[in-house]
Chains A and B, each alone.
Chain A
């Protein structure tokens, strides 16, 4: 856990949390550190202390399982947890013996807070090491004194972005920001400097502390002058209002921790460090106990890691590798897939009806690579190598021996059947897999046109492919685990995040996404000001308003999909979104591509909501409350996801949550569409859904199974 060695009259504390993948602060390592420190304080031979690590990283942070396990605990208990850590850190500062952090590698979160509590910080110039306080990114705040020590050390203005954005920096940048004191090239040099500093500073005091002239003890300084201005300086005051406003542009009240961090700085720096640490602990309790922290840690940290590691991959099948990839259709999606695949070192055959069309698709990669070169992110040689991996053709035979072929042609079942038949014969014998990038057409139906339905799978990319992290893998009725393995291994190779769902109309992501746009249209029909609909949707954390995104998807496409659903008896012909998309399609207001939809798109200027909307959807005098608008938009998405779960489209809750966040931007602070149900509380959710159904229509009626879950008091995760 931690070794204690005395060398040249200095106690060297080396951390090695052997039972964890990395050095973390947890229920075992924290007491171990405290004991070793006590030993060093009492050790008459030890004139100073060096804290370092025996592993490549210094300390990667606090163990988030510990935080997650404590979520929901009584505030007093969490408060004591934070206070006990701060007591250890505070004693480091005030014990009198100099303590140096010898930062051999990554020091993040609690790990960097250990460094902040030391009197001096020396780091090895390892460009891969990361230093920072990223707590805010998982809904937390630095609760080990980070919000108090960093601004006291480097000033409010310098500390604010590090605390509020959770930026992680290299040791070199950390030096320039004042986060560390010395940068060295080797472990030996680091230890040398650490010894030298201890020898030169036999009694060490933090700048925010002083020696009490009567007792001789080290205590917190009153009226400590923060570098570049205190809170009450004109700059400080300005930073508080400006910083809060700026933070709100990013969080919109949905994420409590950045404002809590601002409060820690504001309140904490008006008093001495001892009181500041108490204030920080109170705010820490609030955010650590929040549903936002729980959702972010569970879905965005542990969940995302799990999925990226391949939790959905069949365990018993050996590793597969796509070396040669065929892509049918060099449109927007095909060319994007070609780019990300070539970037991962895969040989790509990009086929279209003409060589010219295929070349146009390759041009997309060339443009992206040139941009990377001009930004200095890539060497011309490397770019050339990547580009040379993409071969364009109009000839199916070039696909010979492909491990995987992905068709990305128009969403027309006949066309898809045609190209898959023509291409699949060139797949590598026995092992080749055929995939469709369709976003809506049922995979099982498409598979019917092929010889090997068991090796036919859906790999649904999102646009733009190079920027969208998610891939939705769709299992057809007959798709084999082998095909899934090939798809999973391929997605891993191109470093994207895969969710796996079963076949259905629109699968999971498209299907639930359309409930969001549909409810936006329902609100419009109910006489809500369209500006309000769009702004409230964005305020609650959706990246784009439902009307704007309807325009982007195109209303004729929405109409086409809804029409099929109506014909298949899945959707009622009276459905508002169906009716409105029909009406708009017939009017020629097809959306962004037609420069007219819910919005008008002037040639040179910003789009604006079409004035004509007022005529079709007159505003109602009686206003629907903001909270109600939010609820309607969120509940529709959650209820549709619940149906996907019950119909077996969703195989794992985590896939639903991550899919909702990464595919169409469901708010991460709610943890995803299913975590949202848990966040509201299953009982409340069902009661609210019933109320919404009574008020606005049966589309909000909870399913019987959900009702049963509510009665049992059992949520999806809890």
Chain B
């Protein structure tokens, strides 16, 4: 079997996902296009050697519709022989793209692939693609589908996480991110997004609030209490009769930020790297997905990690650093709790609470953040994992070479 190597990884800065965000006037396809162009330029890439571009995108409608990956390939001026595919496994899409690329390479059926994702949440609203899971009454009633915020609060209630505990985690995420930013820890992968006439429009993750404190977070209102009281709590609790209520503890400050962003990772086998004169940075050694209880929905990183480690004969102690997507504060906290992982190894440069979660791209972004940090600290093995809508989890292990 071939080995799938990571040769390079780039991403845009993350812009606030609102109409006042810096990337709001950049089209989604342009964000993806600039990622591809960056990879080409940084690696002097002969694009005709790229087999495919796999991009995660969670709301693939409107201007993100109609296979934005192939669209971006053409927009970026890649050779027309390069294919493109848009995939959607909700919040894990960016990492799923990487895993699919790795599987293609390892199987020997392809040699060089760019995997990543794109989401312009300020332009294409989250959830605007509908879906039976979101609106089919019979399925919602039978499976107790609720919005993720309700699930996150259900986790916090079930595991007894207090508001202060969650908020402390969020403050730490902000502080770690701010420190990482000040110390240029993101600059290896992050490039400046430019407008049509070449002006830089964004050079840093603009959602960060380094002055966040427990006091400032205490002022924020729970985000999901109102919808919870309109029947959704009841629906979720039907599966959890041991609980009398859902405590609504997550809010805008301890949940991931809505942002715009795109990312791409250049993945190939050994021969193509040699041919192109590229130096491999890491190999993708283990990956997989799993399903879990869909109402509580966001516990998936745990079984996914367990499954991937077990299948590859690894232990949790074999992992030097973790990136666990901060969809909500309760998610990494639960991961650390259940798998007994020391907090000093998890999300050391902050996470989506401080930096944002551009749905389709996040998986690829946290993987490159992980790789950059492994390289910076001289560590070897890292694991990235995300919780996924509908009750799924994903995990990917990389090892530096």
1/0 per position for A242-265, CB-CB distance to B under 8 A? 111111110011000001101101
What secondary structure prevails in chain A residues at the interface with B?
helix
Stretch of A79-87, A91-99, A231-239, A704-712 lying at the B interface: A231-239
Q: Which of A26-61 contact B (CB under 8 A)?
A: none
Inter-chain contact A535/B135, CB cutoff 8 Å: no
Inter-chain contact A243/B137, CB cutoff 8 Å: yes
Inter-chain contact A248/B241, CB cutoff 8 Å: no
| A240-B140 contact in complex given A245-B234, A246-B230, A248-B231, C-beta closer than 8 Å | yes
Task: Tell me, yes or no, whether A241 is within 8 Å of chain B by CB.
Answer: yes
Other-chain residue from B130, B136, B232, B243 in contact with A245 (beta carbon distance below 8 A): B232
Task: Tell me, yes or no, whether A531 is within 8 Å of chain B by CB.
Answer: yes
Other-chain residue from A231, A232, A535, A626 in contact with B244 (beta carbon distance below 8 A): A535
How many Å from the CB of A605 to the closest CB on chain B?
A: 13
Task: Tell me, yes or no, whether B314 is within 8 Å of chain A by CB.
Answer: no
Inter-chain contact A266/B136, CB cutoff 8 Å: yes
Inter-chain contact A266/B141, CB cutoff 8 Å: no
Other-chain residue from A232, A236, A245, A626 in contact with B231 (beta carbon distance below 8 A): A245
Q: Which of A595-652 contact B (CB under 8 A)?
A: 608, 626
Task: Tell me, yes or no, whether B238 is within 8 Å of chain A by CB.
Answer: yes
Inter-chain contact B234/A266, CB cutoff 8 Å: no
Task: Tell me, yes or no, whether B192 is within 8 Å of chain A by CB.
Answer: no
Inter-chain contact B134/A531, CB cutoff 8 Å: no
1/0 per position for B135-162, CB-CB distance to A under 8 A? 1111011000111000000000000000
Select from chain B the residue with minimum beta-carbon distance to A623: B242
Q: How many residues of B contact A (CB 8 A)?
A: 25
Inter-chain contact A244/B241, CB cutoff 8 Å: no
Inter-chain contact A248/B234, CB cutoff 8 Å: yes
Q: What class of interface size applies to chain A in its complex with B?
A: 20 to 34
Chain B residues with CB below 8 A from A231, complex form: 135
How far is B127's CA from A242's CA once the two chains are assembled, in angstroms?
A: 14
Number of CB contacts from chain A to chain B under 8 A: 82
Other-chain residue from B134, B238, B241 in contact with A532 (beta carbon distance below 8 A): B241
Chain B residues with CB below 8 A from A265, complex form: 137
Select from chain A the residue with minimum beta-carbon distance to B239: A626
Chain A residues with CB below 8 A from B147, complex form: 241
| A237-B135 contact in complex given A242-B230, A245-B232, A245-B234, C-beta closer than 8 Å | yes
Chain A residues with CB below 8 A from B138, complex form: 259-260, 262-263
Other-chain residue from B135, B232, B235, B243 in contact with A240 (beta carbon distance below 8 A): B135
Q: Which of B98-132 contact A (CB under 8 A)?
A: 127-128, 130
How far is B232's CA from A203's CA once the two chains are assembled, in angstroms?
A: 47
Inter-chain contact A248/B242, CB cutoff 8 Å: no
Inter-chain contact B130/A248, CB cutoff 8 Å: no
How many Å from the CB of B58 to the closest CB on chain A?
A: 16
Select from chain A the residue with minimum beta-carbon distance to B243: A531
Inter-chain contact B242/A532, CB cutoff 8 Å: yes
Chain A residues with CB below 8 A from B146, complex form: 245
How far is B135's CA from A236's CA once the two chains are assembled, in angstroms?
A: 9
Chain B residues with CB below 8 A from A308, complex form: none
How far is B138's CA from A265's CA once the two chains are assembled, in angstroms?
A: 11
Inter-chain contact B237/A535, CB cutoff 8 Å: yes
Inter-chain contact A249/B231, CB cutoff 8 Å: yes
Inter-chain contact B135/A245, CB cutoff 8 Å: no
1/0 per position for B228-254, CB-CB distance to A under 8 A? 001110110110011110000000000
Chain B residues with CB below 8 A from A252, complex form: 238
Inter-chain contact A240/B136, CB cutoff 8 Å: yes
How far is B227's CA from A259's CA once the two chains are assembled, in angstroms?
A: 19
Greatest chain B CB density within 10 A among A237, A241, A260 is at: A241
How far is B134's CA from A232's CA once the two chains are assembled, in angstroms?
A: 11
Chain B residues with CB below 8 A from A531, complex form: 241-244
Other-chain residue from A234, A236, A247 in contact with B128 (beta carbon distance below 8 A): A234
Chain A residues with CB below 8 A from B243, complex form: 531
Inter-chain contact B130/A232, CB cutoff 8 Å: yes
How far is B128's CA from A677's CA once the two chains are assembled, in angstroms?
A: 47
Task: Tell me, yes or no, whether A417 is within 8 Å of chain B by CB.
Answer: no
Select from chain A the residue with minimum beta-carbon distance to B136: A266
Inter-chain contact A266/B241, CB cutoff 8 Å: no
Select from chain B the residue with minimum beta-carbon distance to A251: B141
| A245-B230 contact in complex given A253-B238, A259-B138, C-beta closer than 8 Å | yes
Inter-chain contact A262/B137, CB cutoff 8 Å: yes
| A237-B134 contact in complex given A245-B231, A535-B241, C-beta closer than 8 Å | yes
Other-chain residue from A244, A253, A626 in contact with B137 (beta carbon distance below 8 A): A244
| A241-B134 contact in complex given A246-B230, A249-B231, A259-B141, C-beta closer than 8 Å | yes
1/0 per position for B205-216, CB-CB distance to A under 8 A? 000000000000
Measured CB to CB, the residues of A under 8 A from B are 231-232, 234, 236-237, 240-249, 252-253, 259-260, 262-263, 265-266, 529, 531-532, 535-536, 539, 608, 626
7 sampled A-B residue pairs with Cβ under 8 A: A234-B128, A240-B136, A242-B227, A244-B231, A248-B231, A535-B237, A535-B244
Contacts A231-B135, A247-B137, A531-B242 aside, 9 further interface pairs with beta carbons under 8 A come to A237-B130, A237-B135, A245-B140, A246-B230, A260-B138, A262-B141, A266-B135, A529-B242, A535-B244
* Closest 7 pairs (CB-CB, A-B): A245-B231, A262-B137, A240-B135, A246-B231, A535-B241, A249-B234, A244-B137
